[in-house]
Amino acid sequence: MDKLRVLIVGAGISGLALAKALLDRGFLVDVVERRADDGRALGTGLYLSANAVRALQGIGVGAEVAKRAEPVARQRLHDHRGRLLAEFEVGRIWGGVGPCLAITRDDLHEVLCTAVGGTVIRYHTEVTAVADDGTVTFADGATAAYDLVVGADGINSAVRHSLFGGPEPRFLGQLCWRFIANDTAIPGITDWTGRLGPKGRTFLTVQLGAGRVYCYADINSPVPAAPAGDWRALFTDFGGPVPQLLEQGADAYFAALHESENTVWTRPRAVLIGDAAHAFSPSMAQGGAMALEDALVLADTLMTMPDVTAALAAFQARRAERVAWVLKQNHRRDKARNLPTPLRNFTLRLAGERIFKANHALLHALP
């Protein structure tokens, strides 16, 4: 059987993971990325839950990722003053699925780029339209035909807009800031620690190793725009290491958080993966994990089912329940964080570990 010619639109984590998986299976793969390859840092960090690490191992880059990553052994939840609400080993949440890791986005992206090989990726190449027959039109007017086009181009996917339509991503009523700080002079920062303030505010730290810590802060907001003034003033009542970390957050990456409501990700010669298909709230840190699982499952399905249309239908069916589960758990987590502060804190003290176990239960199974 002739191997499919596949175009992957987007050279982010999901696109590169899929490229690696397809190349390993002998497919003909092109990757295009609208950004220039100018060496700009992607910035910020990632918490890789055990199912994400398992997917990276399946893709064949798990060992290299582990060399660059920092193990995360425990999760802690505090109130904004530093009082402990819950603490547990991540192994008690994930059982035998595997370890959890923390890594910078830059490092993960570099591992995947190296694994794919630079000749496969064409930077500064924008897709403007995709037809149902697999014909792709690029911004310079050139066209090309593919057996399969994969939209791995994020929440504002050009492939989704061209072929799938549907509702625009929905604003979740949350704004966030992300940055990496130096923590060598700040004691007490280990593993994964969430600090929950009144009015739905959160400040999360994840230890990255080598004197670095990933910082994530979010607030509720009725509008998807950054508030006036210095965002750090919103967290001046947080204690512990937060004030010192905020000193390094002047240039934090800002984002208004959105959720994708698409429920159909496939057409006869096209498929969406990662945030192009299903963008989530970051409550469970499953956005990257679901993207990596998408890549592995899609590659396996295309390998075992020679008919593209049937393979894509099988992919959608196989992923739908799992993605819906994550979406539901995210909604539960976001709702819980907005409970009245005394009730939220009491609930976490009483049942924090049990809640986390329930949130992740379905994800123990292979994708």
pLDDT tens per residue across span 113-171: 999 987 789 999 999 999 999 999 999 999 999 999 999 999 999 999 999 887 889 99
Give the chain's domains with CATH numbers: 5-71+105-169+259-337 (3.50.50.60)
Which of 168, 106, 90, 153 is CA-nearest to residue 360? 90
Mean confidence (pLDDT) of the chain: 93
| pLDDT bucket at 296, cuts 50 / 70 / 90 | very high
pLDDT tens per residue across span 252-292: 999 999 998 778 999 999 999 999 999 988 989 999 999 99
Q: Please give the Cα distance from 274 to 35 (Å, whole number).
A: 18
Q: Please give the Cα distance from 98 to 90 (Å, whole number).
A: 10
pLDDT of residue 39: 47
Q: Please give the Cα distance from 327 to 364 (Å, whole number).
A: 16
Q: Please give the Cα distance from 43 to 111 (Å, whole number).
A: 15
pLDDT of residue 167: 82
- Does residue 41 have a pLDDT over 60? no
pLDDT of residue 185: 83
Q: Please give the Cα distance from 49 to 228 (Å, whole number).
A: 34
C-beta neighbour count of 115 within 10 angstroms: 19
pLDDT tens per residue across span 164-205: 887 889 999 999 999 999 988 888 799 999 999 998 899 999
Which stretch of 52-61, 100-109, 116-125 has the lowest confidence by average pLDDT? 116-125
pLDDT of residue 89: 96
Q: Please give the Cα distance from 17 to 62 (Å, whole number).
A: 11
Which stretch of 15-19, 64-68, 183-187 has the lowest confidence by average pLDDT? 183-187
